[in-house]
Structure formats: structure tokens, C-alpha cells
């Protein structure tokens, strides 16, 4: 299952990124200055920018290493509903903290009821660094969740997701 899940996750991520380009076309009558950032990052004709590549730590393919985490159902899921809700709130607060520190570039739940509950993509180079970060999660500490960590190679612009997300986030899931 793992062998099928990683390529599917990569393909899904790339599909999501590229579908935005195809579904949101630049308006021919947009006003000057309006949505310049949006149009710049969504420009399908964008060219290589060595300064930007260096800032993101990109290799020659525009990629860099990360650590991917699968959040799974943990061995201790017997908490009462209030404790479970408090752990979930603390878990979300921890996600926000790690994202604000630049250590977590992507997080989200799967929308089914399977054993794998969600994913993280850590902006760190080693499994050991990611393990320390996962150990800061109250849901991990309580055994409600467990983590499966894998080295992952993806687009170097992943860290841009957090600030871009803040630009479109009307309210936080952690609130």
C-alpha cells in the first residue's frame, strides 16, 4: 500500500498545483496592478529565476528534500470526547506553530475514515529532525496519533504555501 500511496500523493499534489493554472485563467480585462502577485505566480509562461531558486534552496530541477509524514490512528484512541476535542485543538495549534516557524510546509487531513488520518510535509532535511517535531504534537504524546516518516523529494517552492495560504484563509482551522 505504501508503494502505491507515495506516487499517488505526489501525483495528486502536482495535479492540484497544475489544475489551478488551468482552471484560473488570466482575465483579459484585469485592471493594472490588480492581482499582480496572483498573475505572476500563476503565469504558465514563467521562466527560470536563479535568484528565486537560490532563495528556495532549489537544485537544478527546482526540487529539494523534505520529510513526509503520514499521520495514522494511534494505539490510544479511548479518550472521552472532551479530552479528544482538547487534543485535537492542541494538535491544530501545534501545526500552526510549526508552520509559522517554517518547519511545516503542508498539513492536512484525509477526507475518509481510513487508518491514515493526514499528512505533514516537513521543511527539514532529516528523519531525525522531523521525529523531534512530531514528538512536540500533543496528539502524538497522548497516543491518539502516530507518525510514519519518509524522506521526500518535491518542488522547492513548498515553503511558499504557508504565506500564500494565509492570504486566502478567512479563518483558521485552529480557532
Domain encompassing residue 3:
1-47
8 A C-beta contact, residue 156 and residue 59: yes
- Distance from the first to the final alpha carbon of the chain: 34
Q: What is the pLDDT of residues 5-42, one digit of tens each?
A: 444 444 444 444 444 444 444 444 344 455 688 888 89
In this prediction, residue 162 has a pLDDT band, given cuts at 50, 70 and 90, of confident
Question: Among 67, 60, 52, which Cα is nearest to 133's?
Answer: 67
The answer to whether residues 96 and 43 belong to one domain is no
| Residue 52 within a domain | no
The pLDDT of residue 62 is above 90:
yes
Q: What is the pLDDT of residues 4-14, one digit of tens each?
A: 544 444 444 44
pTM here? 0.76
Q: How many domains does the chain have?
A: 2
Residue 43 cell numbers, joined = 503565469
The answer to whether residues 76 and 140 belong to one domain is yes
| Interatomic CA distance for residues 91 and 70, integer angstroms | 15
**What pLDDT shows up at residue 111?**
95
Question: Among 77, 74, 69, which Cα is nearest to 95's?
Answer: 69
Q: What is the pLDDT of residues 94-143, one digit of tens each?
A: 999 999 999 999 999 999 999 999 999 999 999 999 999 999 999 999 99
The answer to whether residues 75 and 128 belong to one domain is yes
Amino acid at each position: 500500500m505504501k508503494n502505491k500511496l507515495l506516487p499517488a500523493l505526489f501525483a495528486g499534489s502536482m495535479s492540484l498545483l497544475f489544475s489551478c493554472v488551468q482552471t484560473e485563467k488570466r482575465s483579459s480585462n484585469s485592471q493594472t496592478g490588480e492581482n499582480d502577485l496572483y498573475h505572476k505566480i500563476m503565469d504558465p509562461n514563467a521562466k527560470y529565476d536563479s535568484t528565486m531558486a537560490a532563495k528556495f534552496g532549489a537544485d537544478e530541477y527546482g526540487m529539494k528534500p523534505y520529510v513526509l509524514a503520514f499521520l495514522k490512528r494511534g494505539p490510544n484512541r479511548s479518550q472521552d470526547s472532551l479530552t479528544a476535542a482538547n487534543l485535537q485543538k492542541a494538535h491544530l495549534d501545534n501545526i500552526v506553530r510549526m508552520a509559522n516557524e517554517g518547519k511545516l510546509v503542508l498539513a492536512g487531513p484525509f477526507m475518509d475514515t481510513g487508518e491514515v488520518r493526514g499528512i505533514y510535509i516537513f521543511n527539514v532535511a532529516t528523519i531525525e529532525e522531523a521525529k523531534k517535531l512530531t514528538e512536540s504534537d500533543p496528539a502524538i504524546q497522548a497516543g491518539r496519533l502516530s507518525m510514519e516518516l519518509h524522506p521526500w523529494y518535491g518542488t522547492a517552492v513548498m515553503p511558499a504555501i504557508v504565506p500564500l495560504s494565509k492570504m486566502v484563509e478567512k479563518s483558521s482551522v485552529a480557532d
